[in-house]
Structure 1
Amino acid sequence: MAAIIEPYILKPSYILRAGLKACHVDDVIQDRRCQATNVRVFKAHFGRHPLHLAQVWRDLQLFGIMTVEEAKEKKSFRGFMLANNFLRLYESEDVRNARFGGNYDYNRALAWDFVGRIASLKVHRIRCPTTWPVRLGASADGTQLRTNEPRDEEMRRNPKNYAYKYNFAGLNYLIVLSLWTNHIWFASGGDPGSTHDMTITRQEFVDMVPDGCRVIADDAFTGKTEREKSIFAVSNNLDAPAVKEFKGRAKARQETINKRLKDYESMSKPFIYGIEKAKLCFAAVITLIQYSIEDTSKFGEPLYCL
């Protein structure tokens, strides 16, 4: 029988106070402000509520991505906060090190280490069930994120990297949401910007859809095979007004996720650290968003119900 892991827990109140102190908001100022203001400033620097970051910290240990012994080391918490700050604000190293202090190389290594660890939670937190509770169970949409043009030995600009949304190089991702729960069921790993949404879907997601189940999507997901046509419920002029409204609300939930994704500066600005690290950051950010949308308490940010 496997031993039960007793994680080294950090309270949200500790993460809030320590995070704000790292941003030069000292104890006197924190005590003078109301809790809501402190949380708002914290989220502006680190992206998510301290409660959700506390849950991420716990899960890193429960899923074996970080040992309990590592969690007790001061450098681990520092790396964790550096990673979240980098994902949220995407600042230059000069600006980030002026805030956190310390050695450039040391902070850089810590930040990327914990970006990778947070990204590793994606396979545990974002999973498509093998059986769906209802036949019409999900919605899907693609989103493009801008990157610098990857180096190519043969051509300066490779058309496969072209992202039409930005008229520049980028990566295309597919995101699938559960219609009836606050869960992201699937998020692709990142394909070259010119890759069509349906191509990604055909290669990575179609086989996950149980027979007889359907997915709401836009016209880009018009299928070629009979199975694809039976899976995707796209716009139809013959739809009743209530059906059109339902599809519109499902698509609006997708746009909400896209907006929250791009609230992170590392997702909305051109990414300069290479394709593989861009994919790593996407995996980390989409996982962090999952923690906040599944929380239906007053601290969470759940999607509105259909």
Structure 2
Amino acid sequence: MKLSAAVGALTPSEILVRGFEVIPGLPDIDEEHHEEQHFIDLFKAFFGPTPTTVSWVWADIAEEESNIVLHKSDLTEQGFKGFLRALHFLWAYPKNATILAYTTRVKKGQVEGEKLWYWVKIIAGLKVKVIIWPEQEYKRSDRYILLTVDGVDFRTWEKSTNDSNMDPKTMSHKYKHGALKYEIGIDAYEAKIVWISGPKRGAMGDREIFAEDGGLREKVPEGKVVVCDRVYTDKKTAGNNAKLALPSLADPGPLFEFKSKLRARQESLNGRLKDFRILDATYHHDPKNHVFVLEAVAVLVQYAMDHGHPIFPANTGDHYPDSDV
């Protein structure tokens, strides 16, 4: 499906102008202001990603060969503004629909129910395009350390019962609060999210998730490893530790530093996900929609990394062979 003539192929400057039109109180600007950092920062304050990142996301949503099913009205000015409202929802996570409606110049009914989630799900649908397990790359003989992995908890609202304030199975041990957990992996040498598994119950342990049938342990080829922290240590499950590159004081200096930087990169990625308030605050919408939130935010973070804002590298790009790990 092609973009309608009313929208065109939107440049970052065109997106900047449209973003300012969505939020009341922002100044009237035109495209000649697009390179002024003050206005770019204002756009980011309300939508999260830069206009450049948003332009790439929109282009892939609307491209003719996209597998995303769109309505004709989606590729109009009105549709694009719905997309911008979804970005604002994910980034700022207003407390209720009344606030979201007021801050994006629409009636409350346009930001409730399926109308609210429609564009979130479309953004999440880009996961198949940008969050990809590099099957052939990970089979290369010179790739031993493949990726880093971590279980990340996100707080959720929990309905209390007569017996308990929350279901113990949903409680995050990190937050002492109801939560959903996702296992997230990032490539060891590229700024690429390559694995998302979840949602899982907040009480599930990282090593339990890693060892699930059909999970990451099975996905990683024999003779390859993932870098993780010590909570993944598992002496009971046969073969589990064989695919783990755990922290070790016995590692040679360069390898110890490399693995440490990889874990720091993972924490940096986790932080970027939680820069979006919807993943940092307590989520209070339908739990069934949380996976679309996580995937949509991960997509936006990946686009940002692909277009000017990668996380820091762990080393110069050398691949550590089996004998070094």
With structure 1 as the length reference, what TM-score do the two structures score?
0.89
Unaligned runs of 5+ in 2: 315-325
Q: Give the 3-state SS of the residue equivalent to 2:211 in structure 1.
A: helix
Residue equivalent to 1:207:
218
Residue equivalent to 1:41:
42
Checking the alignment, whether the CA contact within 8 Å between 2:273 and 2:279 is kept in structure 1 is yes
Residue equivalent to 1:130:
135
Residue equivalent to 1:157:
166
Structure 1 residue 151: Cα displacement: 6.5
Residues 267-282 of structure 1 mapped to structure 2, 5 A cutoff:
267-282=279-294
Residue equivalent to 1:178:
187
Structure 1 residue 125: Cα displacement: 1.7
Q: Give the 3-state SS of the residue equivalent to 2:98 in structure 1.
A: helix
Q: Which of the two has greater helix per residue?
A: 1
Residues 245-260 of structure 1 mapped to structure 2, 5 A cutoff:
245-260=257-272
The change in CA–CA distance for 1:29 and 1:77 in structure 2 (over 3 A counts) is closer
1:241 corresponds, among 253, 262, 268, to 253
Checking the alignment, whether the CA contact within 8 Å between 1:30 and 1:38 is kept in structure 2 is no
Counterpart Cα distance in 1 of 2:50 and 2:34: 17
Moved more, 222-231 or 129-138: 222-231
Amino acid of the structure 2 residue aligned with 1:54: S
Structure 1 residue 237: Cα displacement: 2.7
Q: Give the 3-state SS of the residue equivalent to 1:190 in structure 2.
A: strand
Residue equivalent to 1:14:
14
Moved more, 271-280 or 147-156: 147-156
Structure 1 residue 121: Cα displacement: 1.5
1:97 corresponds, among 88, 101, 104, to 101
Residue equivalent to 2:311:
303
The change in CA–CA distance for 1:201 and 1:46 in structure 2 (over 3 A counts) is same
Counterpart Cα distance in 1 of 2:203 and 2:274: 20
The change in CA–CA distance for 1:276 and 1:302 in structure 2 (over 3 A counts) is same
Moved more, 264-273 or 118-127: 118-127
Q: Give the 3-state SS of the residue equivalent to 2:149 in structure 1.
A: strand
Amino acid of the structure 2 residue aligned with 1:52: T
The change in CA–CA distance for 1:216 and 1:51 in structure 2 (over 3 A counts) is same
Amino acid of the structure 1 residue aligned with 2:227: I
> Percent identity at matched positions?
27
Counterpart Cα distance in 2 of 1:268 and 1:261: 8
Residue equivalent to 2:319:
none
Checking the alignment, whether the CA contact within 8 Å between 1:16 and 1:50 is kept in structure 2 is yes
Moved more, 284-293 or 65-74: 65-74
Counterpart Cα distance in 1 of 2:31 and 2:14: 12
Structure 1 residue 17: Cα displacement: 1.0
Q: Give the 3-state SS of the residue equivalent to 1:189 in structure 2.
A: strand
Counterpart Cα distance in 2 of 1:149 and 1:269: 13
Residue equivalent to 2:230:
219
CA RMSD of aligned residues (A): 2.2
Structure 1 residue 234: Cα displacement: 0.5
Q: Give the 3-state SS of the residue equivalent to 1:191 in structure 2.
A: strand
Counterpart Cα distance in 2 of 1:60 and 1:29: 25
